[in-house]
Amino acid sequence: MSRQPSTRIVIADDHPLFRGALRQAVSHALAGSEVSEVGSLEALGQALAEASDTDLILLDLSMPGVQGFSGLLFLRAAHPEIPVIVVSANDDPAVIRRCIEFGALGFLPKTAEVGQMGEAIQAVLDGGVWTPPGVDLSAPVDHETADMVRRLATLTPQQVRVLMMLSEGLLNKQIAYELGVSEATVKAHVSAILTKLNVDSRTQAVIAAAKIAGAGWAVQGASATN
Task: Return per-residue pLDDT of the chain as tens, 226 residues.
Answer: 333 467 899 999 988 888 888 888 888 778 788 899 999 888 998 898 888 789 999 999 888 777 678 888 888 888 989 999 999 888 888 888 888 888 899 999 888 888 888 889 889 999 999 998 887 777 666 677 778 888 988 899 899 989 988 888 889 999 999 999 999 999 999 999 999 999 999 999 988 888 776 644 443 334 444 4
Q: How far is CA 225 from the centre of its chain?
A: 27
Distances (CA, A) of 96 to 92, 105, 201, 204, 225: 6, 10, 30, 25, 35
User: Do 50 and 59 contact (CB within 8 A), yes or no?
Assistant: no
Length of the chain: 226
